[in-house]
Amino acid sequence: MTGRSNRPVDKLIVSGGVPLHGAIRTSGAKNAALPILAATLLADGPMTVGNLPHLHDITTTMELLGRMGADLLLDERMEIHANCSNIREFTAPHELVRTMRASILVLGPLLTRFGRATVSLPGGCAIGSRPVNLHIEGLVRMGAEVRLENGFIHATARRLVGTQLVMQQVTVTGTENLMMAATLADGTTVIENAAREPEIVDLANCLNTMGARIEGHGSGRIVIEGVETLSGARYAVQPDRIETATYLVAAAMTGGRIRVMDARPDQLRAVLDKLAETGVEVTAGPDWIGLDARGRSLSAVDVTTAPFPAFPTDMQAQFTALNSVAHGTGTIRETVFENRFMHAYELQRMGADIEVHGNFAVTRGVVRLTGAPVAATDLRASASLVLAGLVAEGETVVDEIHHVDRGYECIEEKLAQLGARIRRVPM
């Protein structure tokens, strides 16, 4: 069997009931790696990007850059050596954009370095319509000419001009696209109401290593002074905070005790506070986080998602799964995306007591979930079903796991390392 993008559709088979114990290492952050790889288009010399996670989105991005004429080499240490001095194609084709919406991140770099870009409009996805109007409006305010035709964004610009941008809504990739566009613009750009996610900070740090002049990244006000050129550099991507938090939730749900190495507790304050509210013991050092469920049952928690530093929407599905086996009633309010409770309906099939009302879900903890064949619709929903399978009675078969493989490097190896009974079955 193959999935929509002709990739083999594997399944994960999970047998519940084993408390997770041990230590794992966090991989590089997918949502930092994708904009940083797009930023290699800005460099007039060779770049090396390290600590990349081995995920399908990374290979998709390599394919996208390769089609544009980038010379790319991926070595055995998962470092990409990229040289974008011979870019001759300025198009992000539909067949790649439809498999990875983050392809939109080549728009700003192509436009500011080469003065032109043709990028397929990323459609919606399971969690929402995912418009990119704020990316486009910002580029137009910087002097780009943009035409939307036949499902493509056609953008040209002699040279972008630094300007004052006030984002109507906090957008992570919108901030990233505009920040990259501003690095080679004529003059200074200020982005107000910018996204503050740690992935923005990682991208800005990488760009500054290349010779960009960016300040304020991590705050809501980013100032970028345009320069003439950016040089190649060597940069290692930061650890994946969402992957880290997902394994911590798995340990909490299974009543286990784990340590996640190469983690960044400073990037997970809201999540760690929420985990502590469930009754588990959370400990942390400069580059590790520990969780000990102390064999107790969890207390349900109330969660409202919002842009960083508030509770991340990418951890919402995992906490919906946690609440489904916690003691008491927990509420989840999703304020970032309009349709991010698809996992609730699959969790219900495993016996979870969840009521979804628009962007609000009320979960009453049950004594046990039962294993079932389930399928997910997006990356984090898939992860929440794997977590549920770790505690459900019997066997859970998670289908469509190409979603999981987009965001979790070697998920079954890492969980098995912690004692889980999980195996991948190629279909």
From the list 159, 209, 230, 147, the residue with the least C-alpha distance to 189 is: 159
* Smaller CB separation from ligand EPZ, 39 or 300: 39
* Smaller CB separation from ligand EPZ, 3 or 373: 3
User: Is 125 one of the annotated active-site residues of the chain?
Assistant: yes
Minimum CB distance to ligand EPZ, residue 251 (Å): 21
Minimum CB distance to ligand EPZ, residue 367 (Å): 30
* Smaller CB separation from ligand EPZ, 241 or 414: 241
Q: CB of 82 within 8 A of CB of 71?
A: yes
Residues interacting with ligand EPZ, by CB under 6 A? 31, 34, 102, 128, 130-135, 169, 171-174, 313-314, 336-337, 379-380, 407
Triad 27, 271, 218: Cα angle to 5°:
75
Minimum CB distance to ligand EPZ, residue 53 (Å): 12
| Tokens found for residue 316 | 């919402």
Rounded CA gap, 246 and 33, in Å?
Answer: 18
* Smaller CB separation from ligand EPZ, 21 or 154: 154
Residue 187, helix vs strand vs coil: coil
Phi, psi for 291 (deg, rounded to 5): -140, 130
Minimum CB distance to ligand EPZ, residue 193 (Å): 11
Task: Report the b/e string of 39-65 with b at 16+ CB within 10 A.
Answer: bbbbbeebbbbbbbbebbbbebbbbbb
Rounded CA gap, 96 and 152, in Å?
Answer: 13
| Alpha-carbon distance values, 343 to 83, 350, 379 (Å) | 41, 11, 10
Rounded CA gap, 351 and 412, in Å?
Answer: 24
> Which residue of the set 84, 125, 206, 410 is catalytic?
125
* Smaller CB separation from ligand EPZ, 183 or 246: 246
| Tokens found for residue 132 | 């990119």
Minimum CB distance to ligand EPZ, residue 283 (Å): 26
H or E element that contains 92: strand 91-92
Q: Work out the widest C-alpha separation in the chain, in whole angstroms.
A: 63
* Smaller CB separation from ligand EPZ, 60 or 254: 60
Minimum CB distance to ligand EPZ, residue 110 (Å): 17
Write the single-letter amino acid at 387.
L
Which are the catalytic amino acids?
125
